Structure 1
Amino acid sequence: MAATAVKTASGATGSSTPAIERGATTVPAKVVARIAEQAAFEVRGVGSAAGGVLGVGARRDFDSRPLVDAEVYGGTVVLRLDVGVTFPAHLASVLTELRRHVSARVEELTGLSVGRIDVTVSWLRPASTSARRELL
């Protein structure tokens, strides 16, 4: 089938050939992981272990993206996140929102289906140390 160029309402030139016939698009796992990191960073109350070399000098903060590992199997991705969470917080609610947001953003931006998201909460940060001092 020969492809023909078509002009859209905005004046852009496109192809009348269906996308499936134009070739394959590959999204590397590393790119998916970076997208998931940014999406996780956008969730309130979720932080990251950042910096350092081999764990030495690492700091836990909310100013950097959480760590994400991604594996792509055809059109499905499996994500593993390592995060910190502000505490006290209802962890189930925070993690549900984290999974929902990361899944939606990864699917929206890559076209891949998120099959599973495993989350490790590796640290908690008190929401306020002054509140604890007042209780003592």
Structure 2
Amino acid sequence: MADVCKFIGRIFEFQDEVTNGVLRQKLYDEWGERGTLETTTRRITLTLKEMDILFCETRTRYSLKKQIVINEHIINFILSVAMRIDGKSYYSFSDINAFSILFPFEYRVSKEQLMIDDRFVINTFGGELTISIKG
């Protein structure tokens, strides 16, 4: 489900709506044509609809209902979870502010809030600020 949500997030970066057909085609491009993808795509979009993240324009056309998060503790928590799910060793500061897997959430991160949170390690790599999760 995390991969599918990442694809949905990427689609919403460029479009205001997503359809099951567009999502299914993106999944076919990434994973190849599999018989289960059509059913899986529909079930995931219906689940996100039930969670009040997507709302239906028509039967298979969905728009995003942004979830605004302003509490720094919650933002840090969802970032740490997203970083663990995604599995990379480190992220640039710009990556942290634009996680496609966190597509329903609208949030802002400051360097200071990450520095005071014990879950994160801040370094520079190649002259760029990088963030990683502690051990």
Q: TM-score interval w.r.t. the shorter chain?
A: under 0.3
Higher normalized helix content (fraction of residues): 2
Q: Say which structure, 1 or 2, has more relative contact order (CA 8 Å, 6+ apart).
A: 2
TM-score (norm 2): 0.26
TM-score (norm 1): 0.26
Higher normalized strand content (fraction of residues): 1
Task: Please identify the structure whose Cα radius of gyration is greater.
Answer: 1
